[in-house]
Structure 1
Amino acid sequence: MRTRVLEALWLVSRLLHQGPKSQGKIYALHEPEVDCISKGKARVRYEFGTKVSIATTIDGGFVRGTRAFPGNPYDGHTLSEALEQVEILTEQTPALAVFDRGYRGHGVETTKVLISGTRKGIMPALAKLLKRRSAIEPEIGHMKSDGRLARCPLKGTIGDAIFALLCGCGHNIRKILAHLRAILTAILAAVLAALRAGNQRPYAEVGP
C-alpha cells in the first residue's frame, strides 16, 4: 500500500513539473505509458495511446501480425520487428512488403519493400500491388470499430501487446465467419433453386 502511494505521489509530481516540451510527458495518471501520437490529419491531429503495427495479406486482408510499440517510435524503426513477428507466426519470410511513406529509412534488407507513391522503375505488376496498400486502411477501421482496437481495456504495456494480438485474432475469425456465411448462403440458394425446378416439372398421365 505504501509503495502505491509513493508511486502515485511521484507521478503527480512529474505531472505538475512537466512543461509543454518535456520528454516522457504524462497524459493520464491511471495509464502513464500513454503516448501522444501525431496523425497528421485535419480531422484528427493527435491520438493518445500506444502505436500498433498491423501486417495483413495483400489479397485477402487477413492479419499476419499485430505488435504494440510503446514510446511512440518512428514508423521506419518498427518495420524490422513487425516483419520479424510475421516470420515467427507464419514460419516464412515475406518476399514482398508494401508500406506507406512513413516507413522510409527502414533499413530492412531481407524483404523487398515497396513504398507507396514510388513510380520510378516500378513494373506494372508492382504498381498494382502499390495500389492495394490503401486496402489496409478499412481493415484497420474495422478492427477499431468492430474489434474495439481503438480502446484497450488492459493495463500497462503488456496489456497493450496482448490486446493488439487478440484484436488481430478476432479480425481473422470475423473474416472467416463472413466467408463461411457466404458459402452457406450460396449452397442454400442452389438447393432452393433445385427444389423449385423439381416442383415445376409437368406431370404426364400414361394410360392404355
Structure 2
Amino acid sequence: MGPKPSQPQTAELFRPRLDEQINMKHALVKLAALIDWAEIERTFAISFTSGRGRPALSARLVAGLLYLQHTFDASDEAVVNTWIENPYWQFFCGETYLQTEAPIDPSSLTRWRQHVGEEGVEALLAASIDAARRGGVIQKASVQQVIVDTTVMPKAIAHPTDSRLLDRSRQHLVRAAEDNGLRLRQNYKRVAPRLAAQIGRYAHAKQFKRMRKAVRTLRTRVGRVHREVQRQLHELPEAARARVQDLLQRTGRILTQRTKDKNKLYALHAPEVECISKGKARTPYEFGVKVSIATTLKEGLVVGMRSMPGNPYDGHTLAETLEQVGILTGTDRPPATAIVDKGYQGMQIEGVRILRSARGGA
C-alpha cells in the first residue's frame, strides 16, 4: 500500500515546531525549499501497485534519507542514527516536530532502493537538477556543454579467490540444505575451512604446485555437496526449489570456471560484479559495474548517470548517456557539445559536437 499523509496529533500542538528552533538560512533548509517533493512522491507512488498491506513510509522521508546518505557518504545505519541527532536532517526529510526515535529500520533502505528501481533514482537525480536550476547554480545554457566519462562503481565484496569462493559456495549449499530439511551425508564443515586456510599459506609461500592440488581437493569436496543437493531438489516445494535452483546455478558456475575464462562469477551474492581494468597504477583491477557519468562543463553538476552492465566499450555508451541528459534536464534532446577522452575514439553522434583529448582535436 502506498504512503498516507500524516495527521498531527493533539499533543503536538503544544510542542515547538522545528522551523521555530533552527536557523532557516542553513544550507539544508534552503535546499529543501528548492526540491520538488511532490513530483518525487508522484514518481514513487507509481511503484505501489497494490492497495493492500501496511501503508508505506513517506516518500519524502525515504528520498531525503537517500539524498543525505549520498551527500555525506554514510551507511544505512549511520544515516538513520545521525537523523535522530540532527534536527536539520529531520527538517530536510519533512518533519515538523523534533523526533527522538528512528523513523525507519536501516535494512528497509535497501528494500526501498530495490522498490523504486532505476526510474525512481533517475527521478531523484532530475529533482536535484531542477533544484540547482531554481537556486541559480547552473544556467539554462550550461546543459548544452557536458563532460562525459566512465568509471567503475566498486562493489563491497571480498577479494575473489578460488578457495574463498568455493568455501562460501559450500557454506551456502549446506545452509540451504538445513533450511529445507535436506539430509547431507557430509558437509565438510571442518575439512573445507582448513583447506581454504592452507591454500592461502601455500600461495603466500609461493608453493603453487601444492596450492593447486589443494584447490582441486577443495573443488572436489564442494562438488560432492553440490551434486547431493541437486539430487534431492525434486523433494522441495516449488517456491523453495526455485531459490535452491538459483543457488545451484551460481555454485555450478564457480565450480566450473577457470582462470582464463570470461564472464566469471566473482561474488556469490552479487552476480552482476565484473572485473574491470581502467589502467590505474594503484588499482589495476576493480570489481564492480561500469558507470557512465555526465557533468556540466562550467559548474561540474552531475546531469546524467547510468550503470552499464557487461563492461561495454566506452564509445558505445555515449549515445545512451547523452539521451539520458536530454531527458533529465528537460530539453528532450542531446547536448550540443560533449567533451570526452580517448576511450570514445571513433564515435560520432548526429547533432552533437564531440571534442576528444586525442591528437588532432575533434
State the shift of 1:46 in Å.
1.0
Q: 1:42 aligns with which of 281, 303, 310?
A: 281
Q: 1:66 aligns with which of 262, 281, 305?
A: 305
Q: Separation in 1 of the partners of 2:258 and 2:292?
A: 29
Alignment RMSD (CA, Å): 1.5
Aligned to 2:340: 99
State the shift of 1:14 in Å.
0.7
TM-score (norm 1): 0.55
Q: What SS does structure 1 have at the residue aligned with 2:322? A: helix
TM-score (norm 2): 0.32
**How many equivalent pairs are there?**
121
Matched, 1:108 2:349: yes
Query: For residues 11 and 121 of structure 1, do their structure 2 counterparts lie closer, same or farther at Cα, with a shift above 3 Å needed?
Result: closer
Cα contact 1:95–1:112 (8 A) shared by 2:
yes
Q: What SS does structure 1 have at the residue aligned with 2:258? A: coil
Matched, 1:8 2:247: yes
State the shift of 1:109 in Å.
2.4
- The letter for the 1-side match of 2:298 is D
**What pairs with 1:84-95 in structure 2 (closer than 5 Å)?**
84-92=323-331, 93-95=334-336
State the shift of 1:107 in Å.
3.3
* Identity score, percent: 56
State the shift of 1:97 in Å.
0.6
State the shift of 1:68 in Å.
0.5
**5+ residue gaps, structure 1:** 123-208
4+ runs deviating over 4 angstroms:
none
**What pairs with 1:1-208 in structure 2 (closer than 5 Å)?**
1-92=240-331, 93-118=334-359, 120=360
Q: What SS does structure 2 have at the residue aligned with 1:19? A: coil
Higher relative contact order (CA 8 A, sep 6+): 2
**5+ residue gaps, structure 2:** 1-239
Cα contact 1:80–1:106 (8 A) shared by 2:
no
CA shift digits 1:55-105 (9 cap, x unpaired) = 000010001100100111110100000001001111333111101111112
Q: Separation in 2 of the partners of 1:77 and 1:113?
A: 14
Query: For residues 72 and 101 of structure 1, do their structure 2 counterparts lie closer, same or farther at Cα, with a shift above 3 Å needed?
Result: same
Q: Separation in 2 of the partners of 1:75 and 1:101?
A: 9
Q: Separation in 2 of the partners of 1:91 and 1:116?
A: 28
Query: For residues 37 and 108 of structure 1, do their structure 2 counterparts lie closer, same or farther at Cα, with a shift above 3 Å needed?
Result: same
Cα contact 2:355–2:361 (8 A) shared by 1:
no
